[in-house]
């Protein structure tokens, strides 16, 4: 009895769909067998029923893929899908390729926020993925026992996962131990000479300029500091006024590709088998690995961050392998330089838009660090209320990572209650911090407006409009504020980032007055922001004017901070 080609093809497609649905194979061998091996075997069975080999190949492959695709889409849109009850855009329910498209456009964070505004606090943003905008979901997602989702699979170099890409809690805890030592109070004190040196070089370089793109210069100072602090290596970007290593360009291009492809993590097993050639992501890995290897070979007499990662004096009791240290070192460059530079540039932007707030911050800096006095007292900086309020407010509007911090409810757990919502097993879930930080339920009034006063304790508050409200009308939920994530998987270097941001703002604003360049539309800066893995930003040109001692005494006299001679 002859086999019915349609029936056999349907059964083969159904079996393949069931295997993917049940086991989620993503390795190259399994995918090759299921997508190419199965239809090839069908052709062998059915060859006699076709007039030619070409007809057999075309008919079988097209039919197989069409049925498989129909089964996948039909199930994802059916009422039998575990996430069927949750609202979301139709393309997102069908495929993660829709997320890839929105990320490629650079507006994924705005897109997800718009989805929450339309659908509510829980939105299905992928076939098996939910985004949640609710205070009670933050702790279950970020601080408890949910592992990171597959979005983090791209975090690796030289075939070794970096710290922020490790999804297993036991492995993560072991890899985190050297980082705990490297970011301790005593270790950070040791990094102060690197920061002081780099900030001094920045001020000296800016002293001879009238107009600069502060976005570029924040990148220069962040990379130079990271090079010194992590590897005891001088990148020399500030002195040169440009990228001297190629790493910045590679980071921009490489993270763009990684940010897009991270939404379809199964593709990385395919890519690693392809020649990478001169791709930006490959160049980024090569440069980072080369710097780390040079540091390992050269050693260092200073206690830089790498000293703790490779435990050169065995002080940590935990020593990373060279491969792990190289991977973590590269991660440090990307995470440390890019996020600090971006956060600083955001803050300069908000100060340019709000001259009165800029003036108020300079007055606080003048009071703590009078003209001519060194600003490198990091303890004093940590106690400056308005400076810290400005940084917090900038981080509230634009947290370090704009895309939701993905976690996964693992299969076999039976699902989890996350806040008021039940999340089925096998589901990726994220707390969308960009939306949460701007939610009027948690930050009000004017949640979309840069207003540092909300971080200060006062009996009444004056809004930028001039209106005054009592403190009882202020909604300020600090529990929702998590710009560097939270829990055991939070940002390992956030303490260093805070010190760096305070130091740079104090040094620059003590020395210079800053204003927007004539003809530049400030609002274009926010429009230029692109969220891909990290935040890419456009230009922010500003005009610099060195502040004089006469100007300083006039200001302090008006504030009654000094007695006139």
Q: What pLDDT is stored for residue 295 in this prediction? A: 82
Query: How many alpha carbons lie under 13 Å from residue 252 in its C-beta half-sphere?
Result: 13
For 558, phi then psi, to 5°, come to -65, -25
Task: From 37, 54, 77, give the residue that closes a domain.
Answer: 77
How far is it, in rounded angstroms, from Cα 8 to Cα 45? 9
Q: What pLDDT is stored for residue 133 in this prediction? A: 96
392 and 506 co-located in one domain: yes
Q: Which helix (H) or strand (E) holds 100?
A: helix 97-104
How far is it, in rounded angstroms, from Cα 134 to Cα 74? 30
73 and 165 co-located in one domain: no
Mean pLDDT of the chain: 87
Q: Is residue 255 part of a domain?
A: yes
Q: Which of 255-264, 346-355, 494-503 has the highest mean pLDDT?
A: 346-355
303 and 183 co-located in one domain: yes
Query: How many alpha carbons lie under 13 Å from residue 269 in its C-beta half-sphere?
Result: 12
Q: Is residue 553 part of a domain?
A: yes
47 and 172 co-located in one domain: no
| Cis preceding linkage at 445, omega within 30 | yes
Q: What pLDDT is stored for residue 316 in this prediction? A: 47
Angle between helices 385-397 and 494-511 (to 10 degrees): 120
201 and 56 co-located in one domain: no
Spatial CB neighbours of 262, under 8 Å, sequence gap ≥ 6:
151, 152, 153, 154, 533
34 and 173 co-located in one domain: no
57 and 189 co-located in one domain: no
Q: Is the pLDDT of residue 378 over 90?
A: yes
Mean pLDDT of 72-92: 97
How far is it, in rounded angstroms, from Cα 103 to Cα 106? 5
Q: What pLDDT is stored for residue 533 in this prediction? A: 75
Q: Is residue 128 part of a domain?
A: no
353 and 491 co-located in one domain: yes
Please choose, from the candidates 155, 152, 142, the residue with its C-alpha nearest in 3D space to the C-alpha of residue 482. Answer: 142
178 and 327 co-located in one domain: yes
Q: Is residue 98 part of a domain?
A: no
Q: Among the listed ranges 24-28, 508-512, 537-541, which one has the minimum average pLDDT value?
A: 24-28
Confidence category of residue 2, pLDDT binned at 50, 70, 90:
low
First to last CA, the chain: 111
Domain that holds residue 27: 5-77
174 and 71 co-located in one domain: no
Count of CB atoms situated within 10 Å of the CB of 530: 20
Q: Is residue 175 part of a domain?
A: yes
How far is it, in rounded angstroms, from Cα 388 to Cα 176? 27
Q: Is the pLDDT of residue 561 over 70?
A: no
The b/e string for 432-446 (b: 16+ C-beta within 10 A; e otherwise) is bbbbbbbbeebbebe
Instruction: Give the chain's domain count.
Output: 2
Mean pLDDT of 215-241: 92
For 159, phi then psi, to 5°, come to 75, 5
* Cα separations in angstroms, 78 against 177, 467, 484: 46, 52, 37
Count of CB atoms situated within 10 Å of the CB of 528: 14
Q: Is residue 114 part of a domain?
A: no
Q: What pLDDT is stored for residue 265 in this prediction? A: 81
In sequence order, what are the beta bridge partners of 105? none
Which pLDDT tens digit goes with each residue over 279-328? Answer: 666 676 677 777 877 887 777 777 888 888 777 555 545 566 766 777 77
Q: Is residue 274 part of a domain?
A: yes
Q: What pairing do the DSSP bridges indicate for beta strands 427-431 and 129-132?
A: parallel
How far is it, in rounded angstroms, from Cα 318 to Cα 512? 45
As a 3-state breakdown, the chain gives helix, strand, coil percent values, each rounded to 5, of 60, 10, 30
Task: Say if CB 390 and CB 351 are below 8 A apart.
Answer: yes
Which pLDDT tens digit goes with each residue over 397-440? Answer: 999 888 878 999 999 999 999 999 999 999 999 999 999 999 99
Task: From 30, 46, 77, give the residue that closes a domain.
Answer: 77
Joined together, the tokens standing for residue 366 give: 């003048």
287 and 386 co-located in one domain: yes
Spatial CB neighbours of 292, under 8 Å, sequence gap ≥ 6:
231, 306, 325, 326, 329, 330
Per-residue HEC secondary structure of 261-291 comes to HCCCHHHHHHHCCCCCCCCHHHHHHHHHHHH
> Which class for 476: exposed (0-12), middle (13-18), buried (19 or more C-beta within 10 A)?
middle
Joined together, the tokens standing for residue 5 give: 């080609």
Task: Say if CB 76 and CB 70 are below 8 A apart.
Answer: no
- The region, left, alpha or beta by phi > 0 then psi within -120 to 50, assigned to residue 366 is alpha
Q: Is residue 238 part of a domain?
A: yes
CATH of the domain at 266: 1.10.630.10
Please choose, from the candidates 489, 199, 240, the residue with its C-alpha nearest in 3D space to the C-alpha of residue 344. Answer: 199
54 and 164 co-located in one domain: no
Please choose, from the candidates 483, 460, 485, the residue with its C-alpha nearest in 3D space to the C-alpha of residue 473. Answer: 460
Question: Please, what sign has the CA dihedral across residues 350, 353, 357, 361?
Answer: positive
How far is it, in rounded angstroms, from Cα 535 to Cα 441? 26
Task: From 77, 97, 128, give the residue that closes a domain.
Answer: 77
Distance of CA 143 to the CA centre of its chain: 18
């Amino acid at each position: 009895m002859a086999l019915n080609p349609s029936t056999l093809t349907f059964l083969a497609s159904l079996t393949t769909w069931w295997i993917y649905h049940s086991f989620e194979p993503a390795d190259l061998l399994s995918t090759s067998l299921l997508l190419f091996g199965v239809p090839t075997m069908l052709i062998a069975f059915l060859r006699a029923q076709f007039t030619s080999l070409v007809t057999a190949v075309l008919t079988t492959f097209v039919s197989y893929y069409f049925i498989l695709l129909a089964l996948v889409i039909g199930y994802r849109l059916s009422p039998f899908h575990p996430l069927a009850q949750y609202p979301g855009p139709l393309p997102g329910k069908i495929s993660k390729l829709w997320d890839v498209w929105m990320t490629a456009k650079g507006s994924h964070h705005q897109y997800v926020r718009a989805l929450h505004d339309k659908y509510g606090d829980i939105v299905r943003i992928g076939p098996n993925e939910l985004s949640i905008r609710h205070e009670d979901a933050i702790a279950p997602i970020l601080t408890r026992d949910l592992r990171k989702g597959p979005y983090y699979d791209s975090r690796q170099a030289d075939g070794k996962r970096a710290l922020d890409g490790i999804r297993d809690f036991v492995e993560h805890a072991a890899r985190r131990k050297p980082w705990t030592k490297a970011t301790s109070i005593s270790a950070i004190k040791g990094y102060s000479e690197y920061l002081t040196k780099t900030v001094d070089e920045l001020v000296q370089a800016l002293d001879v300029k009238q107009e600069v793109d502060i976005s570029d210069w924040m990148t220069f100072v962040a990379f130079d500091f990271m090079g010194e602090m992590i590897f005891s290596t001088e990148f020399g970007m500030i002195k040169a006024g440009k990228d001297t290593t190629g790493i910045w360009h590679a980071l921009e291009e490489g993270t763009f590709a990684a940010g897009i492809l991270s939404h379809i993590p199964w593709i990385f097993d395919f890519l690693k088998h392809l020649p990478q050639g001169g791709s930006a992501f490959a160049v980024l890995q090569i440069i980072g690995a080369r710097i780390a290897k040079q540091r390992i070979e050269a050693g260092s007499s200073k206690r830089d961050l790498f000293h703790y990662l490779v435990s050169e004096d065995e002080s940590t009791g935990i020593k990373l392998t060279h491969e792990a240290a190289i991977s973590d070192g590269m991660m440090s460059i990307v995470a440390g330089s890019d996020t600090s530079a971006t956060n600083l540039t955001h803050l300069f932007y908000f100060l340019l838009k709000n001259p009165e707030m800029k003036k108020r911050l300079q007055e606080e800096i003048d009071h703590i660090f009078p003209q001519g006095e060194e600003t490198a007292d990091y303890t004093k900086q940590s106690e400056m209320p308005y400076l810290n309020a400005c940084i917090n407010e900038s981080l509230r509007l634009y947290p370090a990572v704009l895309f939701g911090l993905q976690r996964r409810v693992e299969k076999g757990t039976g699902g989890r209650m996350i806040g008021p919502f039940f999340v089925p097993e096998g589901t990726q879930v994220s707390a969308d911090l960009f939306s949460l930080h701007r939610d009027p339920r948690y930050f009000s009034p004017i949640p979309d407006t840069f207003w540092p006063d909300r971080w200060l304790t006062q009996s009444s508050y004056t809004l930028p409009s001039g209106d005054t409200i009592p403190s009882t009308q202020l909604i300020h939920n600090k529990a929702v504020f998590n710009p560097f994530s939270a829990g055991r998987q939070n940002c390992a270097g956030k303490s260093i980032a805070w010190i760096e941001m305070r130091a740079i703002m104090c040094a620059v604003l003590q020395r210079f007055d800053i204003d927007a360049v004539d003809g530049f539309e400030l609002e274009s800066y926010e429009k230029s922001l692109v969220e891909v893995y990290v935040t890419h930003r456009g230009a922010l040109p500003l005009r610099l004017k060195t502040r004089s001692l006469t100007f300083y005494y006039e200001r302090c006299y008006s504030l009654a901070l000094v007695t006139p001679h």
